[in-house]
Amino acid sequence: MQTILSSETGARSQNVLPEKRSITLTINGLVHKLELAPWTTLLDALREYLQLTGTKKGCDHGQCGACTVLVDGKRINSCLTLAVMKEGSEITTIEGLANENGLHPLQTAFIEHDAYQCGYCTPGQICSAIGMINEGHAKTLQDIRELMSGNICRCGAYSNIVDALQEVMKIDSNETV
């Protein structure tokens, strides 16, 4: 038997907390003013400070894609960026996709093709798909599979997700394999 000390993970007696700063985030076209410390990630800012809980936390380490949002039209993992770093950017989350004309075509296609089960990865999948379409590099079904691989679906709805994207992107399935 022995006695061990677990490693001391943080510096001690740092009781002066990081200063909160006033930051402005543009999300789904709306300007939000927030008082946040630097250590708040964009994901936590959305979920905990703005109650925009449509963006999901599946790992908090960039390893699952559930937190995917669009920043200036590009898909990113919102868990791996600080909210303060996204001042001045246009952020789009799942809550910003449907408009007065109804659901976004991808949302409709996800419902039609049953491209989800538990629904937890779904907002990330949809935002990621929009990002992928914006990027313009997916020409075949194999491209879609590869370029959507940053979004894990533990329920295993991949085939249906690909079907939904294929329909919206009007990709010919003969190009497969």
**Residue 145 binds another protein (CB under 8 A):** yes
What are residue 91's phi and psi, to 5 degrees?
A: -105, 130
Interface with another protein (CB under 8 A), residue from 29, 30, 35, 114: 114
Q: Looking only at residues 33 through 52 of this chain, which bind another protein when binding is defined by CB under 8 A?
A: 37-41, 44, 47-48, 51-52
Exposed, middle or buried: residue 86 (CB in 10 Å: 0-12, 13-18, 19+)? buried
In this chain, which of 80, 90, 133, 167 binds another protein, going by CB under 8 A?
A: 80
Q: Which is nearer to another protein, 91 or 116 (CB)?
A: 116
Nearer to another protein, 26 or 53 (CB): 53
Where on the phi/psi map is residue 13: left (φ > 0), alpha (ψ -120 to 50), or beta?
left
Show the site string, 86-105: x = touches another protein by CB under 8 A, - = not: -------xxx-xx----x--
Residue 82 to residue 168: CA distance in whole angstroms: 32
- Which of 25, 91, 92, 116 touches another protein by CB under 8 A? 116
